[in-house]
Every structure is written in structure tokens, then in C-alpha cells.
Amino acid sequence: MNKYDVIVLGSGPGGYVTAIRASQLGFKTAVVEKENLGGVCLNWGCIPTKALLKSAQVFEYLKHADDYGFKVDKVESDFSAVVKRSRGVADGMSKGVQFLMKKNKIDVIQGYGTLKKAKQIEVKDDQDKVTQYSADHIIIATGARSRELPSLPQDGKKVIGYREALTLKEQPKKMVIVGSGAIGIEFAYFYNSMGTEVTVVEYLPNIVPVEDEEVSKQLERSFKKMGVKIKTSAEVTKVDTSGKGVKATVKTSKGEEVIEADIVLSAVGIKTNIENIGLEEVGIATDRDKILVNDYYQTNIPGYYAIGDVTPGQALAHVASAEGILCVEKIAGQNVEALDYGNIPGCTYCSPEIASVGLTEKQAKEKGYDIKVGKFPFSASGKAKASGHSDGFVKVIFDAKYGEWLGCHMIGAGVTDMIAEAVVARKLETTAHEVLKAVHPHPTMSEAVMEAVAAAYGEVIHI
């Protein structure tokens, strides 16, 4: 029997980060992975999509070179080269995780892991050889995959998920994207920028439905200006793949219409990878597709833990990493503080970007707060105007009574790099007055945060 202190099942941004922190804390650690190190995020999610989006942004710059004083003739894209670059970036990041495993003396066990009783894991490799391992602590970090709807079965060719969308051999002329969360919206921006005719179908009344309503409306305006077609309060009821392309039947308040396209991308959320990993045999409790855990990610069975997408928290890479670190620090006996899920930033990397943390205006009102709301448009920002990206705004929400920063919502160029200010300030229980008196550099996009706070308190200078 191969014995460890900690075995992590899965090597995504939750799993590999957990393993590294465990090793740093002195635990003999192993990671079990059935595919590539880095999981979905590094190989099929966060990283390769950002590479695609960067290519799209460069292409946009070249197409609008005149706006910056340059003459560029006949700008053409090479779709296969763009995809190839994205895969190269992902491969490089996965190799980086391999290096980190070696550096931290973590054993990588390649194969499909199944949980067993008595804190054991059985791993079957690609040659069907089965090996038993045991550990004092087993941490489940198996992540999630693209969710399939009964009305939208994926065939991997005409009806696809995010994996296929990253590696299409040919650029589609027309694409229907079902779902307007981060995945759907990022692909909508990418494919539209590359020249594909894109239609986004969203079941709820607003695109990016988890965001503040004003942010949603701004993104819809920006996307329509780019030529993306948006259908909200709409549902794809069936798809016909019998012909050359695909016909999607879309039901709206106005009735049904059929949209013809080359590809339908299903981006309707995720399904956790909790089947066939031994949960039932071990007796680990689940509820509605999630593994139940306490504040320190312990399951109902001693010695077994779960982090990341398989647990009830937000399905985000940075959440999985934070949960894993907290989990092993608790195992090591450190005095740790439970994660505050009300202060988790969310980012969508389309253009304009979206970033948010805390309560929306609607949520704050529903919770009974008397609020002060401030908004500063990037059209009044010197840095935004100079860079040619003046779409969007920063919106802040404060409790009028105590000055508590309840929420921050941004849409604009580079805002995913700005949201951390609000996250840290909220963590430190910073008040509006303290933000106002913290000098922000000029000219920057980030000074819009200070200006928005000033607007909430009637002290704004530049609008």
C-alpha cells in the first residue's frame, strides 16, 4: 500500500494549489489526475479562452487602426493560427504545473481515481493497471464539465460545449450561443470579433444575469453596437442537425422562430464530476449535485474533504484555490478563518470586461439597506478616452447609515484588474470616507473607483 499524508483527487486550480500548500506545510502529498495537470481551467477554460480573447482584441485594434492614426491595409485573420496560439499557451501553463509539482516534491499519479473506504483511493491507469493508495486525508477536487440540456444534446460537431468551441478547425459563419453567463458571453465576443455572425439566446430577462442590472444593460448595448444579436427571455426548445448546418427553434414572448447556423454552442452552466468516483461506497453525503461540506471542507466521513466546483460555493477557479488552501491549513492545525462567500469577485473577460463583488443595487434594497449609490462613467475618464475605450462605468453601493461598502460593479476596459481594490477594502471593512481620502493616481482607469465613491456622497469632481 502506497501511503501519504494527503492525496488530492483532481489537479485543477483547486487541486494543484491544495497539493502545493499541503507540501509547504510538511505533508507527504500526491495528486491523482486522469487527464492533464491544471484541469479544465488551464487546459480548457480560463487560460486558453483568455488567449483567444487577446487575439480577438488585437484583431479589433488592427481593424480600427485609423482611430489611432495608423493606416493598415487588408487586415486578415488566420483562425487556425489563433486556435494554435491558444493551445500553445494552455500547454505551456500545464507544463508549468508539472514543474511546480516537481519543485514541491508532490507525486503525480496518472489515472482514474476512485474513492474507497478506510481512506483509500484506487487508481486505474491507461493500461487498466489498478493500484491502491491510502492517506490520512483525501481531498476531492474533481471539478465540473459542460452541462447538457435535454432539448440541446451535444454531439460535439454541430451542437458543442466549451471544449469544442476552443478547438474548432474552421471558423463558423454563423453561431448560436445558448446561455449568457461568463462562458457564453466570452465566446460571443471572441467569435463576433473574428467575423462570425453571433446570436446569443438567454432564458432570463437580462444577459449576464448574475450581474447588476445596469451592467447587463450596458453590455447589451455594447454587444449590439458590435453586431451581436441578443435574444432575452428566450429558450431553445429543439435543434435540428439533419441538414448541412443546424436549425435552432427559439421560443420568445413573440412566438417561435427558427435560426439557421453552422454551430450551436451550449453554455448553460456546469455539471459536477461526482459520478463514479466512489462517493456512494464511502457514504459521502451529497445534495443537488454537490458534495456537502462544513466551513473547513470536511465531508460527513472523517478523513474525506471536498473543494471547488463539487461543493456548494461559487464555481470559480480562485474560489477553488482559496478553499483548498484553507482546507489543508485547517488540517495542519492552523487558526484559519472561514471563507467569506459574500466577498468573492466575479469576472467576465469579454470586451468591455465585467467585474463585480458584493451586493447588487437590487439585492441591497431587498435586504432592507438604506443605500447610497455612486456611478462614474468611463466617458468622463481621461485614461479611457485616450485609450479609445470609453464604454462602461464603475458603480458603488454603500450602506447610508455606517458607510459599509456593500457592492462594487464595473464594466469597461481592464476592470477585471481593478476589482481587487474593492475586495481588499471590503475585507478590511473600509468606509466610503477612507476610500475617498486614499489618493488614486491620475490618469488611470482605477481612479474611476474613487470618483464613483465621491458621486455616492455628492462630492464627485469630473461629472
Residues marked as binding? 50, 113, 179-186, 202, 269, 309
Contacts for 294 with CB less than 8 Å, ≥ 6 apart? none
Number of H helices and E strands in the chain, helices first, is 14, 24
Pick from 1, 3, 10, 7: which is nearest to 106 by CA? 7
Q: At CA 226, angle to CA 247 and CA 184, rounded to 5?
A: 50
| Feature table: binding site for FAD | 50, 113, 309
Backbone angles phi, psi at 350, to 5 degrees: -80, -170
Beta bridge partners of 201: 178, 231
Peptide bond just before 209 cis, omega within 30 deg:
no
| b/e sequence 373-391, b meaning 16+ C-beta within 10 Å | bbbbbbebbebbeeeebbb
Clarify whether 442 is annotated catalytic.
Answer: yes
| Feature table: binding site for NAD(+) | 179-186, 202, 269
| Ordered DSSP codes for 160-212 | E-HHHHHS-SS--SEEEEE--SHHHHHHHHHHHHHT-EEEEE-SSSSSSTTS-
How far is the C-alpha of 341 from the C-alpha of 348, rounded, in Å? 18
Q: Which of 64, 137, 433, 442 is catalytic?
A: 442
Catalytic residues: 442
